[in-house]
Homo-oligomer: A and B are copies of this chain.
Amino acid sequence: MIRVLIADDHPIVRSGLRAVLRGEPDLTIAAEAATAQDAIAKAGLADVVLMDLRFGDGPSGAQATAAITALPDPPHVLVLTTYDTDADILAAIEAGATGYLLKDAEPEDLVAAIRAAAVGRSALAPGVAARLVDRTRNPVGALSARETEVLGLVADGLSNLSISRRLHLSQATVKSHLVRVYAKLGVDSRTAAVAAATARGLIRPHR
């Protein structure tokens, strides 16, 4: 019997997951959590944690995942979320998630992924898997740390001059970085670069 912990802040989603799992005789719901903290506290009760990435407030699902996998004899964490940006996926994988599913997955795929996760096998949504191999095999389009840093400040609305001051650079250097960023992203303006990088999950609009 596989004990599952449902960690999601949406009552309706929890209800849907309950309904899906109820039909599976080898799966049982050990507990539910509506916050990341709650999920960490109840992680010991389960073999598999179904983890959302965004909660209304408090720590993120990625943080909770990291905390759970750091426990002694931790359950496997299967991320189940709506978001599929590079930033989200990488954060979750790096936090120790065993699998990564999207909420538009079919119920059959979900229960299959739970069973896989229970024995430590990883299950990835098709698009997610493609994105990962894409990135590890072909780091073209990957920005350097400095480029990402500069682009992040651009996304915050700073001018080249402001950025140069913030980073103790000359404007020429900031431009150089941006020129390379534009080339890598296939764009030709700062706003387009921000849009492209956001779309690819290279940077994240912080709210």
A: residues with CB less than 8 A from B are 9-20, 56, 82, 85, 103-107, 110, 154-159, 187, 189-196, 198-199, 201, 205-207
The docked-state distance in angstroms from the alpha carbon of A56 to that of B103 is: 11
* 9 tightest Cβ-Cβ pairs between the two chains A and B: A157-B192, A16-B16, A157-B195, A15-B16, A12-B16, A198-B205, A15-B19, A10-B103, A19-B19
Check if B105 sits within 8 Å of A207, measured CB to CB. Answer: no
The docked-state distance in angstroms from the alpha carbon of A16 to that of B207 is: 26
Q: Contacting A12 at CB < 8 Å: which of B17, B190, B192, B201?
A: B17
Q: Give the nearest-CB partner of A106 in chain B.
A: B11
Q: Contacting A191 at CB < 8 Å: which of B103, B107, B191?
A: B191
B residues near A198, Cβ cutoff 8 Å: 205, 207
- Say how many copies of this protein the assembly contains: 2
Q: Check A157/B191 contact, CB under 8 A, given A104-B10, A198-B205.
A: yes
CB distance from A76 to the nearest CB of B (A): 19
The docked-state distance in angstroms from the alpha carbon of A16 to that of B157 is: 38
Of the candidates A103, A155, A156, A191, the one having the most CB atoms from chain B within 10 angstroms of its own CB is A191
B residues near A85, Cβ cutoff 8 Å: 207
Check if A11 sits within 8 Å of B205, measured CB to CB. Answer: no
Q: Contacting A17 at CB < 8 Å: which of B16, B104, B154, B156?
A: B16
B residues near A192, Cβ cutoff 8 Å: 156-158
B residues near A11, Cβ cutoff 8 Å: 16, 104-107
